[in-house]
Amino acid sequence: MQQIKMNLPGHEYNLFIERGLIKASSVIICELFKCKKIVIVSDKNVFGIYGKTVVEDLMVHGYEVHTVILDPGEESKSIENLQYIYDKLLGYSANRDTVLTALGGGVVGDITGFVASTFLRGVRYIQIPTSVVSQVDSSIGGKVAVNLKRGKNLIGSFYHPSAVIIDPEVLNTLDERYFYDGMAEVIKYGIIRDEELFSNLEGYKNKNDILANIEYIISRCCDIKKEIVEKDEKDTGERMLLNFGHTIGHGLEAYYDYKRYTHGEAVAVGMCEISRIGEQLGLIKKGTKDRVKEILEQFHLPFRIEGADVEKLINIMKNDKKSFDSGLNFILIRKIGDAYIDKLDLNDVKRLLIAKEDRNGINKN
Which chain residues interact with ligand NAD by CB under 6 A?
43, 45-46, 49, 72-74, 77, 104-108, 110, 130-131, 133-134, 137-138, 141, 143, 152-153, 170, 173-175, 178, 263
**164/15 Cα distance (integer angstroms):** 5
- Min CB(277)–ligand NAD separation in Å: 23
Q: In whole angstroms, give the CA distance from residue 9 to residue 158.
A: 13
Q: Which is nearer to ligand NAD, 255 or 279 (CB)?
A: 255
**Closest approach of ligand NAD to the CB of residue 219, in Å:** 18
Shortest distance, CB of residue 255 to ligand NAD, whole angstroms? 17
- Name which of 124 and 276 has its Cβ closer to ligand NAD: 124
Q: Do residues 266 and 324 lie in contact, with contact meaning Cβ atoms separated by under 8 Å? A: no
Q: In angstroms, what is the minimal distance from the CB of 111 to ligand NAD?
A: 9
Decide whether 233 or 279 has the Cβ nearer to ligand NAD: 233
Using the minimum distance from each CB to ligand NAD, give the nearer residue, 133 or 277.
133
Nearer to ligand NAD by C-beta: 145 or 352?
145
Pairing of strands 99-104, 37-43: parallel
Residues 6+ apart with CB under 8 A from 331: 192, 240, 241, 243, 244, 245, 246, 247, 274, 339, 340, 341
Amino acid at 345: D
Smallest separation, CB 257 to ligand NAD (Å) = 15
Nearer to ligand NAD, 250 or 293 (CB): 250
Which residue sits closest to ligand NAD, CB atoms considered? 106
Give the separation between CA 345 and CA 178, rounded to whole angstroms: 34
Handedness of CA 226, 227, 233, 237 (dihedral sign): negative
CB of 308 to ligand NAD, least distance (A): 21
Whichever of 142 and 278 has its CB closer to ligand NAD, that residue is 142
Smallest gap, in angstroms, from Cβ of residue 136 to ligand NAD?
9
Helix %, strand %, coil % for the chain, to 5?
Answer: 55, 20, 25
In DSSP notation, 103-134 reads EESHHHHHHHHHHHHHGGG---EEEEE-SHHI
Cα dist from 171 to 103, 196, 301, whole Å: 13, 23, 18
